[in-house]
Amino acid sequence: MKSAAIARWREPSVLPGFPLALGLTLAYLGAIVVVPLAVLALKPWSLGIAGVWSALTEPRVLAALRLSFTTAALAALVDAPLGLMIGWTLTRYEFPGRRLLDALVDLPFALPTAVAGIALTALYAPNGPLGALAAKVGIKTAYSPLGVFIALLFVGLPFVVRAIQPVLEDLDQEVEEAARTLGASDLQRVWRVVLPALAPALVSGVGLAFARAVGEYGSVIFIAGNMPMRTEIAPLLIVIKLEEFDYAGAAAVGLAMVVIAFGALVAINALQARLAGHGRT
């Protein structure tokens, strides 16, 4: 008879291989994720608390963090209506080429970031087709915070579309039909029935887009222009600090990014849980 102590932490199972699979999983996760991230969490403190504080409150660092987080948030928020529109079009209408369009949504996932970065730059540079167009009306796109925003918009779009699509498809047709029989107009139906049901998925999609955008590097650095204090993103600052062999400083910025992003995600998850609690059918 197996001892009860083993049953405490795991339910007995007849399937073989648990020790091997668990051991492999833990060893791999430990070596690849846990130990490296533990070092990231510890390294900055070699500067002392005051040292970490001054490393993070350095104007250049503050400016970079501000730029990364605000443009990421802005891009994720703008992705919401765009993604909603595309997701709606893809799930609710039948038209030739719908499946092709659906596949194209994943392009930002599939295109390596460096490729996206130079392509966006070529488009939005002052001599690029779209950049020249914008320059005519006096808007600077590439090499400005707007360029960073465009790149992050590109990166985040699929997250929103893919988050809401399954919910839109699953949305009980009967509920909508019931709303219609109760005399709701099309707009009322969308506003009062569809959107609330969609809200949790939309929030989680925006959260994913934001998380990705905050850390994004490849697609941004080419279009950003990387001017200190103006268009320098936080990940780039880490690279610069590493090139100066300022490991602790780089780790401080890295840790700050992880902590702030984590805090934002916790808040987003809480919001999503609240919305999900309300919208449950």
Partner 1 sequence: MRPLVRLPGAAPLLLLSSLAVLGLLVVLPLAVVFQQAFSKGVAAYLAPLADPDALAAIRLTLLVAAIAVPLNAVFGLAAAWTIARFEFKGRTLLLTLIDLPFSISPVVSGLVWVLLFGAQGLFGALLQAWGVKIIFATTGLVLATILVTLPFVARELIPLMQDQGADEEAAALTLGAGGAAVFTRVTLPKVKWALLYGVLLCNARAMGEFGAVSVVSGHIRGLTTTLPLHIEVLYNDYDFVGAFAAATLLASLGLITLVVKTALEWRFADELAAFRRR
Partner 2 sequence: MPLEIKSLSKAFSRYPALSDITLTAAEGEFLALLGPSGSGKTTLLRILAGLEQPDAGEVRFRGEDLLAAPVRRRGVGMVFQHYALFRHMTVEQNIAFGLQVRPRASRPGRAAIAARVAELLDLMQLDGLGKRYPSQLSGGQRQRVALARALAIEPRMLLLDEPFGALDAQVRRELRRWLRQVHDRAGVTTVFVTHDQEEALDLADRVAVLRAGELVQVGAPNDVYENPASAFVFDFLGEACRLEGVVRDGRLTVADWTTTAPADAPEGPVDLFFRPNEVAFAPADGVGVGANVLAAAVRGASVKIECKVGEQVIELQGLGQVPPQALTRGARLRFTPTRYRLFAAAR
Q: Considering the complex, what minimum distance in angstroms separates the CB of residue 2 from partner 1?
A: 14
* Of 5, 10, 14, 280, the one binding partner 2 by CB under 8 A: 14
| Structure tokens, 191 | 């506003």
* Among the listed residues 58, 63, 67, the one whose alpha carbon sits nearest the alpha carbon of residue 213: 67
CA distance 153 to 263: 22
Binding to partner 1 in span 81-100, by CB under 8 A: 82, 85-86, 88-90, 92-95, 99
Pick one of 10, 12, 19, 59: the residue that binds partner 2 (CB under 8 A): 12
| Interacting residues with partner 1 between 18 and 37 (CB under 8 A) | 18, 20-22, 24-25, 28-29, 32-37
Of 63, 74, 80, 123, which one interacts with partner 1 (CB under 8 A)? Answer: 123
The amino acid occupying position 69 is F
Token couple for 171: 């949305």
Partner touching 2 among partner 1, partner 2, none, CB below 5 to 8 Å by kind:
partner 2
Q: Which of residues 125-144 bind partner 1 (CB under 8 A)?
A: 128, 130
Interacting residues of 202 by C-beta distance below 8 A, sequence separation 6+ = 80, 83, 84, 160, 163, 164
Which of 256, 252, 216 has the alpha carbon at shortest distance from 236? 216
CA distance linking residue 45 with residue 72, whole number of Å = 28
Q: Which is nearer to partner 2, 9 or 245 (CB)?
A: 9
CB under 8 A: which stretch of 7-15, 59-67, 131-139, 224-232 binds partner 1? Answer: 7-15
Among partner 2, partner 1, none, partner that 134 touches (CB below 5 to 8 angstroms by kind)? none
Candidate ranges 4-12, 38-46, 91-99, 140-148; the one touching partner 2 (CB under 8 A): 4-12
Kindly state whether residue 20 participates in binding partner 2, applying the rule CB under 8 A: no
Torsion of CA 107, 146, 226, 43, to 10 degrees: -70
- 137 sits near partner 2 (criterion: CB under 8 A): no
Q: Which is nearer to partner 2, 16 or 138 (CB)?
A: 16
Buried-state track 69-101, b at ≥16 Cβ within 10 A, e below 16: bebbbbbbebbbeebbebbbebbeeeeeeeeee
Return left, alpha or beta for 21; rule: phi > 0 is left, psi -120 to 50 is alpha, else beta.
alpha
Q: How many residues bind partner 1 (CB under 8 A)?
A: 91
**Considering the rule CB under 8 A, would residue 238 count as an interface residue with partner 1?**
yes
Give the binding-site size for partner 2 (rule: CB under 8 A). 6
For residues 204 and 79, what is the distance between their CA atoms, to the nearest angstrom?
12
For position 100 contacting partner 2 by CB under 8 A, the verdict is no
Q: Compute how many other C-beta atoms are within 10 angstroms of the C-beta atom of residue 164.
A: 27
5 belongs to the binding site for partner 2 (CB under 8 A): no
Considering the complex, what minimum distance in angstroms separates the CB of residue 82 from partner 2? 39
Helices 195-215 and 247-279: crossing angle in degrees, nearest 10, is: 180
Binding site for partner 2 (CB under 8 A): 1-2, 4, 11-12, 14
